[in-house]
Every structure is written in C-alpha cells, then in structure tokens.
C-alpha cells in the first residue's frame, strides 16, 4: 500500500508572488565592448578568488527585482553575500535576483559610467 504524505504549509509564510508576467531577459545588447569586459572582470575576479567558506553571488547584467509591481534595477554587476544560486536556474523564479526569493538585497551594486 502506498503511503501518502500531507504537506503542511506555514500560515505565516505568504505565497510567492505571481511572476508569470515579468520579463527576466530581453536580449538588450551591452553598450560597448569595453563596458562588457569591465562587467565580466568584476564578477569573474570575485568568483575566482573568493574564500569558498562563505557563499555569495556575483553576477553581471542580471535584473534585481524588489517588488512585482516595479521594474527591475539592472546594474552592471552586483554581489550578494550569504546566498547561493538556486539549483534549477532554468525556472523563471531563479533566472533573476528576486528579493523575495533570496530574502535580502545585494550588498553592493555597481554601475559603470558609459
């Protein structure tokens, strides 16, 4: 006989917002080659040299969503400490940095003057 398992939900935890209407990628090109290289250099330097004991995300040109009703902020690079990429990055909720998914804003966001 197959056992069934009841899934309990925490009444204090709100349902995640509906993000089906949010555009997480628009394929807008980077302003110029030099800017693109600077953005990758910032993120790559952190990813290559960071102490593996403390998790973090360093990414370039990724949308930061602070609310469902607001457009994203898309810095050239950002870093968020004590968070990890979600396992399945192909799921829409994991393709951008949704504040409600990571539970905190990034520590730093960098925009390179162009």
- Residue 5 pLDDT exceeds 50: no
Contact 26, 74 (CB under 8 A): no
Tell me: the pLDDT tens digits for 39-91? 888 889 988 988 888 999 999 989 999 998 899 999 999 999 999 999 998 98
Mean pLDDT of the chain: 83
Higher pLDDT, 92 or 3: 92
CA atoms within 13 A on the CB side of 10: 5
Q: What is the largest CA-CA distance in the chain?
A: 65
What secondary structure does DSSP assign to 55-109, as a single string? -EEEEES--EES-TTSPPB--SEEEEET----S-TTSGGGSSEEHHHHSS--SEE
> Which of 1-5, 11-15, 67-71 has the largest mean confidence?
67-71
Q: pLDDT band at residue 11, thresholds of 50, 70 and 90?
A: low
Q: What is the pTM of this model?
A: 0.74
Helix, strand, or coil here: 37?
Answer: helix
């Amino acid at each position: 006989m197959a056992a069934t398992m009841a899934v309990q939900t925490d009444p204090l935890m709100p349902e995640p917002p509906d993000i089906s209407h949010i555009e997480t990628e628009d394929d807008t090109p980077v302003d110029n080659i030099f800017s693109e290289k600077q953005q990758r250099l910032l993120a790559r330097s952190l990813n290559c040299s960071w102490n593996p004991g403390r998790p973090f995300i360093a990414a370039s040109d990724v949308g930061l969503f602070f609310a469902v009703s607001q457009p994203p902020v898309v810095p050239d690079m950002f870093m968020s400490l004590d968070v990890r990429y979600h396992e399945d990055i192909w799921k829409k909720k994991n393709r951008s940095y949704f504040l409600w998914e990571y539970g905190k804003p990034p520590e730093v966001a960098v925009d390179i003057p162009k």
